[in-house]
Amino acid sequence: MPIVEFRRDGEIGVIVVDNPPVNALSHAVRVGIMDGLTRAREEAAIQAVVIACAGRTFIAGADITEFGKPPKSPSLLDLIAALDDMKKLTVAAMHGTPLGGGFELALGCHFRVAAPNTRPGLPEIKLGLNPGAGGTVRLPRLIGPEKALRAILSGDPMPTKDALADGIIDEMIDGDLIAGAVAFARRALAEKRPLRRLRDMDEKLAPARVNPALLSELITPAIRRARGTRAPMACLEAVRNAVTMPFDQALKRERELFVELLMGEESKAQRHLFFAEREAAKVPDLPEGTKPREIKRAAVIGAGTMGGGISMCFASAGIPVTVVESSPDALKAGLGRIEKNYRATAARGGLTNEDVDRRMALIKGATELEAVADADMVVEAVFEEMPLKQEIFGKLDKITKRGAVLASNTSYLDINAIGAAAHRPADVLGTHFFSPANVMKLLEIVRGKETAPDVLATALSVARKLGKVPVVVGVCDGFVGNRMLRARSIEAERMLIEGALPQEMDAAIVEFGFPMGQFAMGDLAGLDIGWRRRKASGQRAEIIDALCELGRFGQKTGKGFYRYEGGARTPIPDPEVEALIVAISKRLGVTRRPIDRKEIVERMIFPMINEGARILEEGIARRPGDIDVVWVYGYAWPVWRGGPMFYADTVGLAYIRDQLAKFAAHSKDKNLEPAPLLVKLASEGRGFLSLGAKS
């Protein structure tokens, strides 16, 4: 079949797009649709046109790979203008996810019919854009500007029932969609239904014309969520224009806003992440056709912070899970925390109480390891101690059935050593969830040197079932995320000793775009975890360890790098902490000096990038984009800065190399010396992304 087929069904012309996987509006598709519309217009026997798609979805938007390349006509706007000019009835036959430009094309038709479970939406904001082909001007005319702005700001596909109730879908079609759409067109012709062009409708705009403040109120949470990005404001302006300007003027301005954003770094960063996320799930050396093992039952060992969250992930995905704890009390406490978390979500309206009951019924508690005997996958989440983990994996080898996947949630430890203890290293790998495990999207999948291909494929498949974004990484201390975090932490402590204060450093990093500074984050997670680990391995971090020795573990003790009043989570700078830091500087013979925000940011971020370069060189991460996905989904790196490796390219590797060399000379820390890969790329005038990325 050609990429766009035109066929006749009596007096109805049918345009069918077939451009797998998601029928994106590539140039060839646009040409094909335009040809179809021209034919329909010119052939006298044709009275109506249906636009439909083959495959899994109606057009899911513009072809993102064409963004940033010279535009080729016809543009999507040309297609929609042709629909506007059409004197014959037009029907969009939608299924799957008609998104972005695809939905905008459908809004250019007189009518829209849909298969069950069709979820239209305008996700442009997730790519740092506003809808750019009439979405902000037509949708408000159809469903009112408030609802339209809400949908545009969320970017999420709409529930089918809402799309139907709001009149986006004129009729649901059960059975053959194209046949149903053709029948609909025939009926509409017979009934002489007026050709309803959204551009001509404006009664839904009236309330917002009277009270334009209505729209501004919606934007505040979106701006907070978007942390400094420009797309939400552009969406607001475009929808506001739809209310206050004539249609064509608002459409023209929408396009200008779209093009401005498209050319900017923020959207480029978000497009990079779109492809990086999809790329990260691909493992080139996984033999083609490798089948994941079937996971019908899971088990989690340890019901602490992570084990509880991981068990929730399985239960929420409908997979029965057995949770094993070391004592009845610990088990009771762990199961209690799980239920409390679910009930809190239900209280906020995110789940029904029946959902909670159903999920809790899938979670079975036990205090004997033997209870995992029938599990197809076991995730160990006990204390971060190698001997304990090895002991458990040794037992799992005897208890679990052959073919069970044995995973560890370790944050730092050597998966190969854990695999060896299990005596079947091919079945072992790391599944590193992030806290809170039921919320955070990242899953670092740590591949041991003997992990079997189908075990890796199983972890990838389970990740998708749990709604996680998987990134496959290799074995090293701390894997990708925590290894880079450590580089940042060492330099952060050095700056505290040289003269900066926690609140100054946190403010600099929040201004950079992180939702929280690293010291406020440390207080939230608990400073004692790292302290205990360092004590066990004979290491020391001067300032954090001094705080812990004073019992300042963070929020849980009401004091850490900051103090917290009356159980509140707001960090308050504490003169006691300043005095302690100043005393440490003095003891170490350091004369304190003010450190400005630029230096703070560079010394926090560049060492991470340097470590990222080493991680790439060592093959721990396969692609720069993998590292970016880890940081965006696991550590809240600002999406509009595209991840550390993307950001490095925007700064320029030569500058980063030179700054790192200065930092290294200043601190005599060999780790800060620019990594060979960074030096090589910088000297060739290249960036990390030149190592391979789709965007």
The contact set with ligand NAI (CB under 6 A) reads 301-307, 324-326, 330, 334, 381-384, 388, 392, 409-411, 432-435, 525
Q: Which stretch binds ligand 3HC (CB under 6 A): 41-49, 62-70, 80-88, 335-343?
A: 62-70
Among residues 395, 381, 387, the alpha carbon closest in space to that of 433 is found at 381
- Interaction residues for ligand 3HC, span 399-438 (CB under 6 A): none
Least distance (Å) between residue 511 CB and ligand 3HC: 29
Among ligand 3HC, ligand NAI, none, the one that 60 touches (CB under a kind-dependent 5 to 8 A) is ligand 3HC
Q: Which two tokens stand for residue 16?
A: 């069918």
| Catalytic site residue from 124, 254, 498, 504 | 124
Q: How far is CA 352 from CA 310, 343, 346, 358, 359, in A?
A: 20, 9, 5, 10, 11
Interface segment toward ligand 3HC; rule CB under 6 A; list 119-127, 393-401, 545-553, 682-690: 119-127
Long-range CB pairs of 32-36 (<8 Å, 24+ gap) are 32/2, 32/3, 32/4, 32/5, 32/6, 33/4, 33/79, 33/105, 34/74, 34/78, 34/79, 34/82, 35/4, 35/6, 36/4, 36/6
Q: Which is nearer to ligand 3HC, 9 or 66 (CB)?
A: 66
Among 92, 93, 127, 509, binds ligand 3HC (CB under 6 A): 127
Structure tokens at 622: 């396969």
Instruction: Determine, following the binding rule CB under 6 A, whether residue 24 of this chain makes contact with ligand 3HC.
Output: yes
Catalytic residue of the set 42, 43, 66, 104: 104
| Residue linked to tokens 């040409």 | 31
419 binds, among ligand 3HC, ligand NAI, none (CB under 5 to 8 A by kind): none
Is 156 within 8 Å of 123 (Cβ atoms)? yes
DSSP states of 545-613 as a string? Answer: HHHHHTT--BGGGTBSSEE-STT----EE-HHHHHHHHHHHHHTTPPP----HHHHHHHHHHHHHHHHH
One of 76, 91, 235, 508 touching ligand 3HC (CB under 6 A): 76
**Identity of the residue, 137 or 300, whose beta carbon is nearer to ligand NAI in the bound complex:** 300
Sign of torsion, CA 657 652 476 300? positive
Pairing of strands 4-9, 12-17: antiparallel
For the CB of residue 440, give the shortest distance to ligand NAI in the complex, in Å.
9
Distances (CA, A) of 372 to 324, 338, 422: 8, 19, 15
* Residue 61 makes contact with ligand 3HC by CB under 6 A: yes
Is there binding between residue 690 and ligand 3HC (CB under 6 A)?
no
User: In the set 3, 28, 64, 223, which binds ligand 3HC (CB under 6 A)?
Assistant: 64
CA angle 314, 317, 319 (to 5 degrees): 55
Peptide bond into 207 cis (omega under 30): no
Binding status of residue 267 toward ligand 3HC by CB under 6 A: no
Pick between residue 37 and residue 404 the one whose CB is nearest to ligand NAI.
Answer: 404
C-alpha span between 150 and 516 (Å, rounded): 26
Residue 98 in the binding site for ligand 3HC (CB under 6 A): no
Catalytic residue flag (residue 104): yes
- Distance between CA 667 and CA 603 in Å, rounded? 11
Q: Is 643 in the site for ligand 3HC (CB under 6 A)?
A: no
Write down the least CB distance from residue 604 to ligand NAI, Å.
Answer: 20
Contacts of 673 (CB under 8 A, 6+ apart): 660, 661, 664
Which option in ligand 3HC, ligand NAI, none does residue 435 bind, with CB closer than 5 to 8 A by kind? ligand NAI
Task: Encode 475-488: b = buried (16+ Cβ within 10 Å), e = exposed.
Answer: bbebbbbbbbbbbb
Out of 21, 284, 349, 387, point to the residue binding ligand 3HC (CB under 6 A): 21
Please identify which residue in 98, 108, 123, 470 interacts with ligand 3HC, judged by CB under 6 A: 123
The Cα–Cα gap between 80 and 100 comes to 13
Return the residue of 98, 128, 132, 530 that touches ligand 3HC, per CB under 6 A. Answer: 132
Nearest C-alpha neighbor of 647 from the set 684, 595, 612: 612
CB of 397 to ligand NAI, least distance (A): 15
C-beta of 57 vs 408, nearer to ligand 3HC: 57
97 touches ligand 3HC (CB under 6 A) = yes
The smaller minimum CB distance to ligand NAI, of residues 374 and 511, is found at 374
Nearer to ligand 3HC, 219 or 280 (CB): 280
Residue 655 partner contact from ligand NAI, ligand 3HC, none using kind-dependent CB cut-offs of 5 to 8 Å: none
Query: Using CB distances below 5 to 8 A depending on partner kind, what does residue 298 bind out of ligand NAI, ligand 3HC, none?
Result: none
Residue count at the site for ligand 3HC (CB under 6 A)?
A: 25
**C-alpha to C-alpha distance for 394 and 418, rounded to whole angstroms:** 9
Contact status, residue 687 vs residue 681, Cβ threshold 8 Å: yes
- Cβ proximity of 496 and 583 under 8 Å: no
Residue 324 contact among ligand 3HC, ligand NAI, none, beta carbon within 5 to 8 Å by kind: ligand NAI
Closest by CA position to 462, among listed 651, 316, 274:
316
Number of CB atoms found within 10 A of residue 11's CB? 15
79 binds ligand 3HC (CB under 6 A): no
Residues that bind ligand 3HC (CB under 6 A): 21-22, 24, 57, 60-65, 76, 97, 99-101, 104, 123-124, 127, 131-133, 135, 275, 278
Query: Which residues are known catalytic residues?
Result: 104, 124
